[in-house]
Structure 1
């Protein structure tokens, strides 16, 4: 069931989004050669808790950290570790949720560690732009398929593939609400977008094939062919005047 948010609830989600976005910015600044993903996760948890919020991911379904940190060919759900040290040229996808006053702000970004290859930069650029193309399609009267098809067309025209096994989602009092928000689809199909809906749009785009596999830890998801992947996400409100990004730092 899709839950439409009131103005008060949207305001609370904006505050949660600010905290989550600021935590993500802090995490991105920490992406440096020699830094472990565990250290970045520690910074994220400390920041969120100092804001009076709760790290949404910590303990969610048994996840052991406050952020998902996925490097290079890891698509999503990378578990932070002291042994996972970031190197020059890596691309690092960081996904963070913060719960504040009962509502969730969920966002992700892929950060370069220093100078990266042209291939990596092009993939990140395309995935980021696909996110904003998808957000522009999130207008009242459109349908979920309009978002997914917009993302799909944008990245496939550039030679990339869209992950099918994981999708975006509704977000609000829970991190995962209805509706599902795939990054692929058919225009004019799916749930109709209405003012008050809040969704997380999150393209997960691979440089190679679309297939992925989950490792034995039950979380870490990697590209099936070992090629790079990028992940960008914003929580977005559907309003009468169009889409409003809820996960901005200011």
Structure 2
């Protein structure tokens, strides 16, 4: 299913996007050495409920997971990159943490992810990897607009990641979003320009470049959800929800403060 939003629905989508951005930035500010992943999940639940919104994850049960997910935010640490299930783990100095959050408010969803380092340690390779996903995300957004095609976005993202030296996994990527979290079209993190679905004003997309330092192969934890690098290398993931407009793309999950 591909949804095209009208002007009134876009207003509601902006509200959802602003909420997701606010929650992620609040969580980032609270994360420190010793913070438990389960506390992050509890904080997320409280903020979602206080805003009168709903989690897109708690009852999420797709074919690739062992669902329902049962938590309010994905917490992926170091070699975990996608669908990290919160568990009893206290963050350590230098951990690379990815928070991925999707929320439904007033009938419309928004989805975003941030990767950052915990504590004072700043391993150069981790800093470079996070930067590469952020640059790829900006490139994908710049390639989006009315008349462009999905392949234009995929190519822009994949070019940045590949030129930075990272293998690209095309199995999991971006997606359409609207009244539900995951919709068509799929937005691969690698592709050929000029191919695929043509973008129209009112279309919402979640773009999400992610990489693993030295492999494109994933393995799944025993929890049935958490996806890790097959080699144990570190990973990073950046994501925004965007709306295609008459003259380009509007980022709905952009934080008002860093």
TM-score, normalisation: structure 1: 0.97
The match for 1:75 among 81, 93, 98 is: 81
Question: 1:214 Cα shift?
Answer: 1.4
Answer yes or no: is 1:111 the counterpart of 2:133: no
- In the alignment, what sits opposite 2:219? 213
Given the alignment, which residue of 180, 205, 218 partners 1:174? 180
Partner of 2:21: 21
Deviation at 1:14, TM superposition (A): 0.5
Q: 2:251 aligns with which of 233, 245, 248?
A: 245
Aligned to 1:155: 161
How many Å apart are 1:248 and its aligned residue? 2.6
Structure 1: gaps of 5 or more residues: none
Match of 1:94 among 94, 99, 110: 99
Helix, strand or coil at the partner of 2:184: strand
Q: Secondary structure at the match of 1:41?
A: helix
Secondary structure (helix, strand or coil) at the match of 1:184 reads coil
Instruction: Please give the per-residue CA displacement for 1:90-143, whole angstroms capped at 9, x wherever unaligned.
Output: 110000111111110111000111222000000001111111111111111111
> Which ranges of 4 or more aligned residues in structure 1 deviate by more than 4 Å?
none
Distance 2:90 2:167 in 1: 27
What displacement does 1:3 show?
Answer: 1.4
1:53 counterpart residue number: 53
> How many residues end up aligned between the 2 structures?
249
What is the RMSD computed on CA atoms of the aligned residues? 1.0
- Name 1:202's counterpart in structure 2: 208
Contact 2:171 2:188 in 1 (8 A): no
The alignment partner of 2:52 has SS state of coil
Distance 2:167 2:42 in 1: 32
What TM-score does the superposition give when structure 2 sets the normalisation length?
0.94
Q: Gaps (5+ residues) in structure 2? A: 62-67
Q: Distance in 2 between matches of 1:165 and 1:89?
A: 28
CA distance in 1, matches of 2:214, 2:97: 17
